[in-house]
Structure 1
Amino acid sequence: MTVALWCLFAAAIFHPLSKFPLAAAQAREGKGYDNRNPREQQDRLTGWGARARAVHANQIESFPLFAAGVLVATVAAPKVAAIDTLALAYIAARLIYPVLYLKDIHVGRSLVWGVGYIASLALLSSPAWA
């Protein structure tokens, strides 16, 4: 299995991991975690809790483009070293992004998001340059 495919697996694991801060925020809100109506409870979150919700949503939103990029790159250019580097750049960005978002470092967060997005686009366009 290539590094890029391992990165795809890791990115899939980020989904439940990105839920942990959100669940912690929900548990501290009101009467604890509301498993019957979690989305309604999430709507009431403010500050750090609202940012935790945004981190989780953004992780889910960023995954399809990255997954498509890795799969296209794996099929079209499986031996190009840049493919693994781009996949690792996405993973690094997705590890840093939640920390910056939760700490409300908005400019850094946006820059790191851009790195992940550009890496995904580069993977998706790899047949054009490989």
Structure 2
Amino acid sequence: MTLAYWCVFIAMFLPWLCAFYAKRVGGFAGQDNHNPRDFMLHTQGEAKRANAAQQNSFEIFPAFAAAVIIAHMTGGASQAAITFWSVLFVLSRLLYIFLYIKDMATLRSGSWMVGLVCILALFIAAA
């Protein structure tokens, strides 16, 4: 399995990492687990932002996974390029999550854009 595929594997867990953090910071321990989404709707501060980062991470993951798979399957991109853009994507997402939780909106948007550029670069490399 290539490093880029491992990046897809890592990216798959990022939303759940955000959810775990949101629940921990939001005081979910000991709460009724019958309706955890309702609990998340009523969180504030870091917990609310971590939940939003979770949602965004779920939204962007399919495009990233598709880009990595397509870049591998077409054979048009070098393995070094696929690896570079995949690792940069994961790093940008980790930074994005941190910046989102810490409420650094402008930097967060820049980090999000880096992740989007990585996805676009993978598709372009595949062409």
Task: Tell me the TM-score normalized by structure 2.
Answer: 0.89
State yes or no: 1:21 paired with 2:21. yes
State yes or no: 1:120 paired with 2:94. no
Q: Is this contact kept in 2: 1:93–1:112, CA < 8 A?
A: yes
Q: Which moved more, 1:35-44 or 1:13-22?
A: 13-22
SS at match of 1:125: helix
Q: Give the counterpart letter for 1:33 in structure 2.
A: Q
Q: Percent identity over the alignment?
A: 37
- Aligned alpha-carbon RMSD (Å): 1.8
Q: What is the alpha-carbon distance in structure 2 between the residues aligned to residue 99 and residue 64 of structure 1?
A: 21
Task: Quote the offset at 1:32 in angstroms.
Answer: 4.5
Task: Quote the offset at 1:99 in angstroms.
Answer: 1.0
Q: What is the alpha-carbon distance in structure 2 between the residues aligned to residue 79 and residue 49 of structure 1?
A: 39
Q: Is this contact kept in 2: 1:73–1:83, CA < 8 A?
A: yes
Given the superposition, is the C-alpha separation of residues 59 and 118 from structure 1 closer, same or farther in structure 2, using an over 3 Å criterion? Answer: same
Unaligned residue ranges in structure 1 (runs of 5+): none
Task: Tell me the TM-score normalized by structure 1.
Answer: 0.87
Q: What is the alpha-carbon distance in structure 1 between the residues aligned to residue 20 and residue 97 of structure 2?
A: 11
Q: What is the alpha-carbon distance in structure 2 between the residues aligned to residue 64 and residue 87 of structure 1?
A: 13
